[in-house]
Structure 1
C-alpha cells in the first residue's frame, strides 16, 4: 500500500518516519509551513505534494494528523481536497483530535467519494510517536481497520477498536479531559507549593507515595523539580482546544460539565495572557502568584 500523511508536526513526523522505516511503505506528504523539518523523510524517499488532493491521488491510505475539526474539514472537503481525488477503496485514517459530529459528517463525505473513514486518535506523546509506540483508539468498521492494520502497526504499540465511527474521537475527548484536567489541577497545586516555599522534590515524593501518584505527576514532575518542560511538548492552546471540544460534546448530549468549565477558564486565562504556545508543564510557573501580580 502507498501511504499519504497530512500533518507532519510533532506527532506526525514520527508517524511518517516509522511508516517508511519500520513499515517499508512508500510515503507522500502535504508540504506545509507547520511541518517539522522533512529533509530526513525526503532522504528516505518521501514525496512532497502541493495539495491534499495530490496526496490522495497517490495513496491507498491517508493519515490525517492535524489540529482539529476545522482543519480536517478543510482537508477533506476543500478545493483540491481529499474527497475530490480519493482513490476508490482508499481509507482515510484521522489521527487528529476532533469533534465526533464532525467526524461522522466527514465519514459520509469520504464514503460518497468511494472511500472508507476511521477515526483513530492517539494517546501518548511525541516521544512515543518517534519510537513507534503510540496507542490508537479506533472507531469505524472492523473490516476497514483490519485492512489498514499493517500500516498502523508501523507506528503503534496498541490499537484498540472502540466502536463505530465517532467513538474514537469521543473516547479521546474523554481521555484528554481527564488527562489535561489532572495536569491543570496538579500545576495549580504545584504553583501554590512553590509560592509557599515547599521543596519541589518533597512535594513530588509526597504525591507519588499517596493518592497523587499518576501519569499526570510523571509528566509534570520534571518541570516541578527542575523546570524541564520537554517531558510533555503539548501547547497550552491545544490543551484548551481539547477541553473546549469536550465541553461542546457535553453540551450536545446535555451532560454535566461544571469541572470542565473551570479547567477551560484556567487555560483560557493563560492563553489570553499570551502563553498559548507554552508547554503544559509550564503551567506550574504560569499559575504562580508572582507571575500573576
Structure 2
C-alpha cells in the first residue's frame, strides 16, 4: 500500500518516519509550512505533494494528523481536497482530535467519493510517536480497520477498536478531558504550593505517596521540581481547544459541563494573555500569584 500523510507536525513526523522505516511503505506527504523539518523523511524516500488532492491521488491510505475539525473539513472538502481525488476503495485514517459530529459528516463525504473513513485519534505523546509506540482509539467498520492494520502497526503499540465511526473521537475527547483536567487541577495546586514556599520535591513526594499519584503527576513532576517542560510538549492552546471540543460534545448530548467549564476558564486566562504556545507543564508557573500581572 502507498501511504499519504497530511500534517507532519510533532506527532505526524513520528508517524511518517515509522511508516517509512518500520513499515517499509512508500509515503507521500503534504508540503506545508506547519510541518516539522522533513529532511529525515525525504531522506527515507518520502515524496512531497503540493495539495491534499495530490496526496490522495497517490495513496491507498491517507492519514490525517492536524489540529481539529476545521482543518480536517478543509482538507477533505476543499477545492484541492482529499474527496476530490481519493482512489476507489482508499481509506482515510483521521488521527486528529475532532468533533464526532464533524467526523460523521466527513465519513459520508468520503463514502460518496468512493472511499472509506475511520477515526483513529492518538493517545500518548510526541516521544511515543517518534518511537512508533502510539495508541489509537479507532471508530469505524471492523473490515476497514483490518484493511489498514499493517500501516497502523508501523507506528503504534496498541490499536483499540472502540465502536462505530465517531466513537474514536468521542472517547479521545473523554480521555483528554480527564487527562487535561487532572493536569490543570494539579498545576493550580502546585502553583499555590510554590507561592507558599513548599519544597517542590516534598510536594511531589506527598502526592505520589497518596491520592495524588497519577499519570498527571508523572508528567508534571519534572517541571514542578526542575522546570523541565519537555516531557509533555503539548501547547496550552491545544489543551483549551480539546476541553472546548469536549464541552461542545457534551452540550450536543445534554451532558453537564460544570467542571469542564472551570477547566476551560482556567486555561483561557494564559491563552488570552498571549501565552497559548506554552506547554501544559508550564501552567505551574502561569498559575502562580501575580504571574499575569
Cα distance in structure 2, aligned partners of 1:236 and 1:7 = 19
2:173 aligned partner: 173
Q: Which residue of 2 aligns with 1:7?
A: 7
Match of 1:104 in 2: 104
1:240 matches 2:240? yes
- Describe the SS at the equivalent of 2:230: helix
Counterpart mapping for 1:73-152 below 5 A: 73-152=73-152
- Residue 273 of structure 2 contacts residue 292 of structure 2 at CA under 8 Å; is this kept in 1? no
Look up the SS of the partner of 2:45 in the other structure: coil
After TM superposition, the structure 1 = structure 2 runs for residues 209-220 of structure 1, keeping only pairs within 5 Å, are: 209-220=209-220
Give the Cα–Cα distance (whole angstroms) in 2 for the partners of residues 221 and 176 of structure 1: 19
Secondary structure class of the residue paired with 1:275: coil
Match of residue 230 from structure 2:
230
CA distance in 2, matches of 1:278, 1:267: 11
Q: CA RMSD in A?
A: 0.4
Gap regions ≥5 residues in structure 2 = none
3-state SS of paired residue (2:290): helix
In the other structure, the counterpart of 1:155 is 155
Q: Gaps spanning 5+ residues in structure 1: where?
A: none
Q: Which residue of 2 aligns with 1:56?
A: 56
- Secondary structure of the residue aligned to 1:187 is helix
> Cα deviation per residue 1:180-231 (whole Å; 9 max; x = unaligned)?
0000000000000000000000000000011100000000000000000001
Instruction: Return the offset for 1:290.
Output: 3.0
| CA drift at 1:292 | 3.0
The answer to whether the 8 Å contact 2:120/2:169 transfers is yes
State the match for 2:31 in structure 1. 31
TM-score, normalization by structure 1: 1.00
**Alpha-carbon distance in structure 2 between the residues aligned to 1:125 and 1:105:** 28
- 1:267 is matched with which residue? 267
Aligned to 1:5, the other structure's residue is in SS state strand
Describe the superposition over 1:238-293 as per-residue Cα deviations: whole angstroms up to 9, x where unpaired: 00000000000000011010000000000011100110000000000000003134
Q: Secondary structure at the match of 1:231?
A: coil
SS of 2:234's equivalent in the other structure is: coil
